[in-house]
Amino acid sequence: ETGVTQTPRHLVMGMTNKKSLKCEQHLGHNAMYWYKQSAKKPLELMFVYSLEERVENNSVPSRFSPECPNSSHLFLHLHTLQPEDSALYLCASSPSWGVFTDTQYFGPGTRLTVL
């Protein structure tokens, strides 16, 4: 199993649905991240977990709820989303959170469409 994996790769959901995105890293890293990538906008950091503790929440609406049960797994629970939430959601991991030299390694992303 390589690097960082994400499932599902594509997701279409209605505004009233509840779904979850899953991320798994096989790199032995201690930090994990959720990013949102919308068309024609820079990558937006959503959440950061370090050693399973949430250390950053960048003013993300409560309809996005992250969960990090262990250092290898990260989830993003979705409920009552809006069409503007349609985007590519990227998960990343890095050896640690508190060092400027740490490189983030990304998964393939989940392409989310909210109808």
Name the minimum Å distance from CB 84 to another protein.
19
Contact (Cβ atoms closer than 8 angstroms) between residue 42 and residue 90: no
Question: Please, is 52 exposed, middle or buried when counting C-beta atoms within 10 Å of its C-beta (0-12, 13-18, 19+)?
Answer: middle
Shortest approach of another protein to residue 80 CB, angstroms? 25
CB of 17 to another protein, least distance (A): 22
Which residue in the set 85, 107, 112, 114 belongs to the binding site for another protein (CB under 8 A)?
107
Conformational region of residue 27, where left means phi above 0, alpha means psi within -120 to 50, and beta covers everything else: alpha
- The reply on whether position 111 binds another protein by CB under 8 A is yes
What residues from 33 to 52 belong to the interface with another protein (CB under 8 A)? 42-43, 45
* CB contact at 8 A, 87 and 41: no
Residue 76 is encoded by which pair of tokens?
């993003």
Instruction: Kindly list the residues in this chain that would bind another protein in the complex (CB under 8 A).
Output: 42-43, 45, 55-56, 88, 90, 92, 97-109, 111
